Amino acid sequence: MNWEEIRDMRLENLLRMDRYQLVIVYDTLTDTQKQELIDYRQALLDLPQDYDTADEAYANFPDKPNWM
């Protein structure tokens, strides 16, 4: 695993997650789901800077909320 692969995985997950932030869909989420979405997105954004190696980042890749 290398950093480019980690970034590609992160981007793919961010794009999948972003559809839940569209206004119509977002308004149907519970407050708990909204917070889970916020936390998941932030964890994806923080991923590269939180780990020294791509393998370590991959081993700690954030889990998406179950409802997604």
Predicted structure pTM score: 0.67
Write the pLDDT tens digit of every residue in 4-16: 999 999 998 888 8
Residue 24 pLDDT more than 80?
A: no
Q: Which amino acid is at 52?
A: D
Yes or no: say if 10 and 48 are a contact pair by the CB < 8 Å rule: yes
**Strand, coil or helix: 15:** helix
Is the pLDDT at 31 greater than 80? The verdict is yes
End-to-end CA distance of the chain: 25
Can you give the residue ranges of every domain in the chain?
Answer: 3-59
Structure tokens at 57: 């980042």
* Nearest partner of 43 among 17, 67, 5, 23, judged by Cα: 17
